[in-house]
Structure 1
Amino acid sequence: MTEKRFLVTYASQLGSTPEIASEIGNGLRKAGHAVDVADMKGVISLEAYDAVIIGVPIYAGPRGLGDIGNFAKKRFSGELARMPVAIFAVGLLYEGMKSDAAYVTANVEKAIAPIVPVSTVLFAGTIDPGKLSFWQRFANISTIPSADFQDWDAIRAWARGLPGLLNG
């Protein structure tokens, strides 16, 4: 197997997305690849990478997609158009919201079009009402109890499959 160099980059407001990005990075390293995990605001170049995995938080439907749109369309559109890209979105995907997954992933893909990701997945995050912004406290998410909905087995399984998808 030839070692690839991957960037796992993310945006986050409440902390779940970087935790998941780190776990994905660990999985790729265990598979023998070189990986950098970084907040997308600090990324200045994609030149050293063979592929990019982008993590984005989802708050109240398609809100929160500005970070990925800025990264993929304004800052790195040319580079991302020439390399494989995978996306993971992180939101409140507890049992009652699973029907929203297709809607959310479609909106994430729309936010980076015309770039077409090799994989787009929605993972559940965590909610800590104490970390919510002033406006988030008045949205529906403030009624959800503090909880960790993350499915680490699903996250690790997706990470294990990424090298095969990103070989393009």
Structure 2
Amino acid sequence: MTDTVLVTYGTTNGSTAEIAEAVADTLREGGLTARALPARSVTSVAPYDAVVVGGGLYAGRWHKDARWFVRRHRAQLAHTPVWLFSSGPLDSSAADRDIPPVRGVRRTMDRLDARGHVTFGGCLKEGAEGRIAKMIVSSGKGGDFRDFDAVEKWAKGIADSLNQRDHA
């Protein structure tokens, strides 16, 4: 059996979407069928054997589309293997140490009995949307702090977990 995995995300400026695409690519390399889709476009999780949900962090909260997705699909997600990721620190802290999930994501993990969570560095570049994002970039505190090697390693762990389940 080949598991079908949904990798869904909430993003404002696209950097979380790029992380989700990298996760989906790694899952496919691991022999799984994976689709990366914006959280707001997903109408059902029924076709999927597992779900990865990611959200950008904004002022200590997960992106609204990621929060909406888990609320809307909570009943089905409670019976599905789920992993969560956050993206956001605009510094090297995510590469230097494990960053625990923010409070709302921790509650989501507990409610869904999520298999895991990781926080990846964020990315905020010139042209970012939003007043606060523009202020951050203009103050010189933007940049790309994503570690795609770490993203790949984490996604390989998910693929290994799902593949082991299939062979158990």
TM-score by length of 1: 0.84
In structure 1, what is the equivalent of residue 91 of structure 2?
94
Aligned length in residues: 163
Residues in 1 aligned to 2:54 and 2:13: alpha-carbon distance in whole angstroms:
13
3-state secondary structure, aligned to 1:145: coil
The 1:165–1:142 alpha-carbon spacing in structure 2 relative to 1, beyond 3 Å, is: farther
**Match of 1:42?**
41
Residue deviations 1:40-95, cap 9 Å, x none? 10001111100000010001222x4433221112x101100000100110102523
**Kept after mapping to 2: 8 A contact 1:109/1:116:** no
1: distance between equivalents of 2:46 and 2:93?
41
Give the structure 1 partner of residue 143 of structure 2: 147
> In structure 2, do the counterparts of structure 1 residues 148 and 133 end up closer, same or farther at CA, with 3 Å as the change threshold?
same
Task: Tell me the distance in 2 between the aligned counterparts of 1:96 and 1:26.
Answer: 25
Q: Tell me how far apart the structure 2 counterparts of residues 96 and 54 of structure 1 sit (CA, whole Å).
A: 21
Farther-moved stretch of structure 1 (44-53 vs 122-131): 122-131
Distance 1:100 1:65 in 2: 20
Q: Does 106-115 or 35-44 show the bigger shift?
A: 106-115
Asked if structure 1 preserves the Cα contact closer than 8 Å seen for 2:124 and 2:133, the reply is: no
Cα distance in 2 for residues equivalent to 1:65 and 1:146: 18
Gaps of 5+ in 1: none
Identity %: 31
Question: Using a 3 Å threshold, how does the CA distance of structure 1 residues 5 and 103 change in structure 2: closer, same or farther?
Answer: closer
Give, in angstroms, the shift of residue 142 of structure 1. 5.6
Runs of 4+ in 1 over 4 A off after TM superposition: 96-100
SS in 2 for 1:114: helix
TM-score, reference length from structure 2: 0.84
